[in-house]
Amino acid sequence: MTAVSDQSDALFRAMRETAAAVDRRFNAVLLQSDGLEHRLMEATRYASIGAGKRLRPLLVVGSAQLFGVDLSSAIQVGTAVECIHTYSLIHDDLPAMDDDDLRRGKATVHKAYDDATAILAGDGLQALAFELLASEETHADPRVRVELVAALSRASGFGGMVGGQAIDIAAETESELDLGAITHLQRLKTGALIGFSVEAGGILGKADPYHREALRGYAQNVGLAFQIADDLLDVEGDPESVGKATQKDEEAGKATFVSLLGVDRARAQAKYLVEQALEHIEDFGEEASLLRGVARFVITRDK
Amino acid sequence: MTAVSDQSDALFRAMRETAAAVDRRFNAVLLQSDGLEHRLMEATRYASIGAGKRLRPLLVVGSAQLFGVDLSSAIQVGTAVECIHTYSLIHDDLPAMDDDDLRRGKATVHKAYDDATAILAGDGLQALAFELLASEETHADPRVRVELVAALSRASGFGGMVGGQAIDIAAETESELDLGAITHLQRLKTGALIGFSVEAGGILGKADPYHREALRGYAQNVGLAFQIADDLLDVEGDPESVGKATQKDEEAGKATFVSLLGVDRARAQAKYLVEQALEHIEDFGEEASLLRGVARFVITRDK
């Protein structure tokens, strides 16, 4: 028990430190303004600072640790991923998309400000993600920086997150998805960005193909486990602790892992996926303890 | 007269060839799909292919010519800029923003499809811009590719195009802009992306600081001349030939170069800016004939 609670302590400490470091980075790069753009910058800071679990930056930090990469590089890349993740939440919450009022425990950006500001805040955050990656603060080697840009742009574009979101919307009206189709959708919609976050440590650390393959295996399993946990929270979670509306999938008549498998089998499947994830990174030894902690956390979290 | 019409012939040939090459590039990278993402890809192709003057790609081609850069590199970068420009038009046209029905002579994306699809098409195009720049097809040297990413992300983000758009929206309700404030707004909103397009040839060609400074001077003047011409088209143009709604600035009570200077002084100012632009690139000789042609075209165009 002591060993387990020590592990949890270490994980929660890493989570707090990563979240604080990402906040500092956002605070430094999202400048407040007293010009006419002040409302946009205020809204962007409102959405970006002090919000979210910072799970993706934590995955960057965890994978960077495997290869002795500087923490400051990992935080820079983690902040870039969080730019993409945050912009996607802002846009997804718009009335024209999911029309949500609550996100990360507070009013969504278009509710607290307005739709135009929310669209622009998202657009600006996407550009900022690539500006951060291209900066020399990310890594001294331009080869590494451009590889990060290539990987993040692929993960967030038509062949990744944006494509997944389009499939998700189309599925509501056009067809009933089966398990294979939902797996494909989630690999794009949430899996691609989680995959990038894990891969990023390997890119920063110039890892060899064998280690990169191990990271990919870990990421695919953690990504799906994360999504099943999200579906379970939507069914069982309380909006107040989850920080966003729940029961949305059922109301929308959406097929999910939980609606297709049932709660018990979905939970068992998530647990199995986490075990698979852990196997992929077995060879890494002690350095992988953070990635192990995150994998276990993904299915035990309550938000 | 023959010399002038030869120059025009050469310019219009370059415009046609550049537009065709950008269309081919879009056609190759925006894959059609028979999956659930087909509607998104169809909408994105609708917005991107066969549309617009491709003025920004032409500026990339023109500046790349000064340094003997491969045309295929210039077209790749030009397509990336056009991704950003096209996404900004799609998002600006949304009901939550300018609420326009007509663009480039056809229905806007949210009219032809729907708001959610328009938001996602724009988001995906922005990611695609950086994916194109990061690709080895852009340039063999990763240093060059990452410099292009840094420059384009700055030009399109909070300190560039997105920031300018936010100022433009705020100005409608918050204050009456004077000439200095409008110049600042336009430097961000349209000038930054035009500036990147001209700068891109210098980055691709690893130009020395002296030549880069000359390009910057050219770009600043051409950018403002372009905007004044745009304002004049809004006042005097016919929606059918311009391909979008006109008289919008006056209806919105917006201060523009034309509302502040009057038609005659605005036209004289645009002409003066073009002369300034030409002076900046005087030293480049014959290789700069395309950039000279574009500068003159900017204030004589009818759309």
Angle between helices A115-134 and A142-156 (to 10 degrees): 150
Mean pLDDT (chain A, rounded): 93
- For residues B79 and A35, the model is more confident at B79
Work out the average pLDDT over B131-135. 98
> What ipTM was reported for this prediction?
0.95
Stated as kind and residue range, the H or E segment containing A103 is strand A102-103
Q: List, in sequence order, every residue forming a beta bridge with B107; answer none if it has no partner.
A: B102
Greatest CA separation for chain A: 56
pLDDT tens per residue across span A64-110: 999 999 999 999 999 999 999 999 999 999 999 999 999 988 999 99
Q: Which residue of A has its CA nearest to B118?
A: A96
Query: Is residue A30 pLDDT above 90, yes or no?
Result: yes
Task: Give me the mean pLDDT over the B141-159 stretch.
Answer: 98
**B135/B137 Cα distance (integer angstroms):** 5
Q: What is the distance, to the nearest Å, from the Cα of residue A245 to the centroid of all Cα atoms in its chain? A: 18
pLDDT score at B1:
46
- Nearest-by-Cβ selection for A156 from B117, B127, B147: B127
Q: What is the pLDDT of residues A157-215, one digit of tens each?
A: 999 999 999 999 998 876 688 899 999 999 999 999 999 999 999 999 999 999 999 99
Reported as a single tens digit per residue, the pLDDT across A41-60 is: 999 999 999 978 999 999 99
More confident residue, B35 or A165: A165
Q: Is this model's pTM higher than 0.80 or not?
A: yes
Domain definitions of chain B by residue range? 2-298
pLDDT band at B197 (very low <50, low <70, confident <90, very high): very high
Q: What is the pLDDT of residue A175?
A: 67
Do residue B126 and residue A127 have CB atoms under 8 angstroms apart?
A: yes
Q: Inter-chain contact A40–B133, Cβ cutoff 8 Å? A: no
Instruction: Reply yes or no on whether the pLDDT at B205 is more than 50.
Output: yes
Distance CA B116, CA B105 (A): 22
What is the overall mean pLDDT for chain B? 93
pLDDT in tens, A246-291: 777 777 778 889 989 999 999 999 999 999 999 999 999 999 999 9
Which chain A residues touch B35 with a CB distance below 8 Å?
167
Closest CA to A220 of A203, A255, A196, A256: A196
| Three-state secondary structure call for residue A4 | helix
> Residue A1: what pLDDT?
46
Residue A100 and residue A93 in contact, taking contact as beta carbons nearer than 8 Å? yes
Tens-digit pLDDT profile for residues B211-239: 999 999 999 999 999 999 999 998 887 77
Who has greater pLDDT, A217 or A8?
Answer: A217
Percent residues over pLDDT 70 in chain A: 98
Compute the distance between CA of residue B297 and CA of residue B303 in angstroms, rounded to an integer.
11
pLDDT at B4: 66
pLDDT of B210: 96
* C-beta separation of A91 from B126 below 8 A: no
Question: Which of B165 and A173 is assigned the larger pLDDT?
Answer: B165
* pLDDT computed for residue B3 by the predictor: 64
Residues 6+ apart with CB under 8 A from B303: B53, B233, B237, B241, B242, B243
B2-298: which CATH topology?
Farnesyl Diphosphate Synthase (1.10.600)
Residues of A in contact with B135 (CB under 8 A): 150
- The answer to whether the Cβ–Cβ distance between A97 and B114 falls below 8 Å is no
Non-local (6+) Cβ contacts of B280 within 8 A are B214, B215, B217, B218, B221
Rounded to an integer, what distance in angstroms lies between the CA atom of residue A67 and that of residue A86? 27
Q: Is the pLDDT of residue A147 over 70?
A: yes
Q: Decide if A164 contacts A189 (C-beta within 8 A).
A: yes
**Per-residue pLDDT at A4:** 65
Task: Write down the pLDDT at residue B51.
Answer: 79
pLDDT surpasses 60 at A151: yes
> Do the Cβ atoms of A287 and A8 come closer than 8 Å?
no
pLDDT confidence of residue B38 = 94
Which has more pLDDT, A222 or A8? A222
* Mean pLDDT of the B6-29 span: 94
* Residues from chain B contacting residue A169 (CB–CB below 8 Å): 116, 120
The pLDDT assigned to B239 comes to 76
Residues 6+ apart with CB under 8 A from B213: none
**Side-chain half-sphere exposure of B44, counting CA atoms within 13 A:** 33
Cβ within 8 Å, pair B150-A135: yes
- Chain A residues touching B39 at Cβ < 8 A: 166, 170
- Cβ distance A126 to B128 less than 8 Å, yes or no, reads no
Look at residue B242 in the predicted model and tell me its pLDDT. Answer: 72
User: What one-character DSSP code corresponds to residue B107?
Assistant: E
**pLDDT grade, residue B167 (50/70/90)?**
very high
